[in-house]
């Protein structure tokens, strides 16, 4: 019992350790906008439940996540960054443990649990979903989906009485009201049942009772989704013509060790058909390694990956996906289960040359995944730490009562990898803290402190901008206004980013003052 518990908790501990740095991060980007929606909602409704009736300013219907943010909104008007980051990290870590438990149930092997849970914890495209408070909806829907799958399978397995059914309903509820992918809970449960017990099992009374309950919850959600007014929601736009390119972006996550190695060796530009072919080759490799005994569950995991990738691929477009890696995170459920189920199969084969070839291939996939994930996530961690330190330092320097005419120069919007340091063919390899075309420090700082801040202007000052040698530093705006000198002369304060190699920090300067980097 203790060993089984340790196996299931190991991926959760790994996930928590990997993302523990996020606990010290500030709020950033859309976090300030979400705080503003809560701040400006008004006194109507019950605090904590107001977004269940829709919102004038929020385009999505994700009331459970908004309730989490409302509960974090204190009486002083601020949201505590530590508590919100802790919530995301803990939910992500718990999902890794649930993935491990599901993989163990599917194979009966501790090795499957460790590989599946570890693959989820180290999935490279999860980093922004876990570290960005505004993306907690994606972490929550993944948790709800896996909880529903695990409990639903336990119910169909005839384990215990009604408790697994209740937990499956709870997982479905969490998934549905966290993010739109929750509507896929029912199809995933049907596929899982067929993969484990055979196609006829989907007609068992217990299975039908489960599907009926999930369908009822889904219908309630859809009625609210389409019935509750959300004026900010625009028309639904399908990007069917971009579907292959979008799926190619997703496909990198299925077989990312191979994608990363090829990208580093060739520095090639992304091409849709070769990327999809490489992912298909990875899928074939996994099914071959798993053997006949596991092919059905492996096919289900592949189907789950594709199913979870389809909505975003159809509705958001390829360019959006490239810049929004948090959207790719829920598909990690399928990736983790696929490799967790298939890779241990390579070591269950009889001895011989073919068995040794399989084992070498499996070890290469595991080692490559661990090494590449560690390098990739460590780069994102380093960027996040630098951006966090700059944001906190800037917050300490700004006086909300007197700094209305403060100008920021060369303030970072995001940091990203240099072209030769990229690991993947397509997608953002960056840590973004703010939108690059306009400054939202006032909203973010208000969210963190509960105090009103003036709108800060930020410009690029070309003579004093020195690009760090080891990464891309992207400041606000892409140019310098013609009257920048006049604006600087009229400013009450100027806070410029000072560059010292790869290190940067904000410093107050006076107009005409000479800095080491040229102001």
DSSP assignment string, 416-439? E--GGG--SSSS--EEE-S-TTS-
Q: What are the residues whose beta carbons fall under 8 Å from the beta carbon of 197, sequence distance 6 or more? A: 156, 204
How high is the pLDDT of residue 478?
Answer: 60
Q: Does the pLDDT of residue 375 top 50, yes or no? A: yes
The answer to which of 194-208, 406-420, 453-467, 479-493 has the lowest mean pLDDT is: 479-493
Angle subtended at Cα 122 by Cα 89 and Cα 331, rounded to the nearest 5 degrees:
85
pLDDT average, residue stretch 269-277: 87
Q: Does the pLDDT of residue 516 top 50, yes or no? A: no
Q: Which tokens in the block code for residue 235?
A: 């028309």
Q: Does the pLDDT of residue 438 top 80, yes or no? A: no
Q: What are the residues whose beta carbons fall under 8 Å from the beta carbon of 19, sequence distance 6 or more? A: 89, 92, 93, 127, 130, 131
Q: Does the pLDDT of residue 1 top 80, yes or no? A: no
* Kind and range of the H or E run holding 495: strand 493-500
**Across the beta sheet with 457-459, what order do the strands follow?**
457-459, 406-409, 493-500, 503-509
How high is the pLDDT of residue 477?
Answer: 72
Q: Does the pLDDT of residue 12 top 90, yes or no? A: yes
How high is the pLDDT of residue 39?
Answer: 84
Total Cβ atoms within 10 A of residue 388 = 20
How high is the pLDDT of residue 400?
Answer: 85
The answer to which of 89-93, 257-261, 400-404 has the lowest mean pLDDT is: 400-404
Total Cβ atoms within 10 A of residue 213 = 18
Q: Phi and psi (nearest 5°) for 497?
A: -85, 125
* Kind and range of the H or E run holding 258: helix 256-266
508 contacts 500 by C-beta, under 8 angstroms: no
Q: Does the pLDDT of residue 45 top 70, yes or no? A: no
213 contacts 240 by C-beta, under 8 angstroms: no
Q: What are the residues whose beta carbons fall under 8 Å from the beta carbon of 259, sequence distance 6 or more? A: 252, 275, 278, 423, 424, 425
117 contacts 307 by C-beta, under 8 angstroms: no
448 contacts 27 by C-beta, under 8 angstroms: yes
Chain centre to alpha carbon of residue 381: 14
pLDDT average, residue stretch 13-21: 97
Beta bridge partners of 474: 414
How high is the pLDDT of residue 44?
Answer: 67
407 contacts 493 by C-beta, under 8 angstroms: yes
Q: Does the pLDDT of residue 63 top 50, yes or no? A: yes
pLDDT band (50, 70, 90) for residue 518: very low
Q: Which tokens in the block code for residue 333?
A: 């459920």
Q: Does the pLDDT of residue 488 top 90, yes or no? A: no
Q: Which tokens in the block code for residue 218?
A: 């889904």
How high is the pLDDT of residue 161?
Answer: 84
What percent of the chain is modeled with pLDDT above 90? 60
Tokens 């303030």 belong to residue: 411
Q: Which residue has the higher pLDDT, 53 or 148?
A: 148
pLDDT tens for 188-231 read 999 999 999 999 999 999 999 999 999 999 999 999 999 988 88
Q: Mean of the per-residue pLDDT values for the chain?
A: 89
The answer to which of 160-174, 198-212, 253-267, 366-380 has the lowest mean pLDDT is: 253-267
Radius of gyration of the chain (CA): 24
Distances (CA, A) of 154 to 147, 200, 418: 11, 17, 47
pLDDT average, residue stretch 287-294: 89
CA 333 – CA 191 distance, rounded (Å): 14
pLDDT tens for 317-363 read 888 888 888 899 999 999 999 999 999 998 887 778 888 899 999 99
Q: Phi and psi (nearest 5°) for 79?
A: -115, 130
What percent of the chain is modeled with pLDDT above 70? 95
pLDDT band (50, 70, 90) for residue 145: very high
Exposure of 320 by Cβ count < 10 A (0-12 exposed, 13-18 middle, 19+ buried)? Answer: middle
């Amino acid at each position: 019992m203790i060993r089984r518990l340790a196996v299931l908790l190991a991926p959760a501990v790994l996930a928590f350790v990997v993302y523990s740095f996020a606990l010290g991060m500030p709020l950033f980007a859309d976090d300030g906008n979400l705080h503003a929606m809560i701040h400006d909602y008004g006194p109507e409704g019950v605090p904590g439940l107001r977004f269940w009736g829709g919102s004038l300013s929020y385009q999505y219907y994700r009331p459970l996540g908004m309730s989490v943010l409302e509960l974090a909104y204190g009486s002083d008007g601020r949201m505590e960054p530590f508590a919100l980051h802790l919530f995301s990290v803990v939910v992500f870590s718990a999902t890794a443990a649930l993935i491990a438990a599901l993989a163990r149930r599917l194979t009966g092997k501790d090795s499957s649990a460790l590989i599946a849970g570890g693959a989820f914890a180290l999935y490279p495209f999860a980093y922004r979903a876990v570290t960005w408070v505004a993306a907690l909806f994606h972490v929550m829907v993944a948790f709800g989906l896996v909880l529903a799958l695990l409990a639903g399978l336990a119910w169909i397995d005839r384990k215990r009485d009604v408790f697994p059914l209740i937990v499956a309903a709870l997982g479905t509820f969490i998934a549905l009201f966290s993010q739109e992918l929750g509507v896929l809970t029912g199809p995933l449960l049907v596929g899982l049942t067929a993969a484990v017990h055979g196609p006829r099992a989907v007609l068992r009374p217990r299975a039908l009772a489960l599907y009926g309950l999930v369908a009822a919850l889904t219908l309630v959600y859809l009625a609210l989704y389409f019935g509750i007014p959300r004026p900010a929601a625009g028309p639904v736009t399908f990007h069917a013509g971009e579907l292959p390119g979008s799926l190619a972006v997703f496909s990198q996550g299925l077989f990312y060790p191979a994608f990363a190695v090829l990208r580093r060796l060739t520095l090639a530009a992304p091409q849709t058909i070769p990327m999809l072919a490489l992912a298909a080759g990875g899928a074939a490799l996994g099914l071959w390694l798993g053997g006949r005994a596991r092919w059905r569950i492996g096919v289900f995991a592949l189907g789950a990956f594709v199913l979870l990738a389809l909505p975003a691929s159809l509705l958001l477009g390829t360019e959006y996906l490239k810049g929004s890696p948090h959207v790719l995170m829920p598909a990690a459920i399928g990736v983790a289960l696929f490799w967790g189920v298939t890779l241990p199969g390579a070591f269950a084969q009889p001895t011989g040359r073919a068995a040794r070839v399989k084992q070498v291939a499996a070890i290469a996939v595991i080692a490559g995944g661990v090494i590449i994930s560690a390098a990739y996530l460590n780069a994102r961690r380093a960027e996040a730490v630098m951006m966090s330190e700059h944001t906190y330092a800037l917050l300490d320097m700004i006086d909300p009562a007197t700094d209305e005419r403060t100008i920021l120069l060369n303030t970072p919007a995001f940091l990203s990898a240099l072209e030769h340091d990229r690991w993947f063919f397509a997608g953002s390899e960056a840590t973004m803290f703010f939108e690059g075309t306009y400054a939202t420090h006032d909203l973010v700082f208000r969210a963190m402190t509960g105090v009103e801040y003036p709108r800060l202007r930020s410009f690029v000052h070309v003579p004093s901008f020195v690009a760090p040698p080891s990464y891309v530093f992207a400041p606000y705006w892409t140019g310098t206004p013609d009257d920048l000198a006049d604006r600087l002369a009229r400013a009450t304060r100027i806070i410029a980013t000072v560059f010292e190699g790869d290190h940067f920090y904000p410093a107050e300067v006076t107009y005409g003052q000479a800095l080491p980097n040229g102001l």
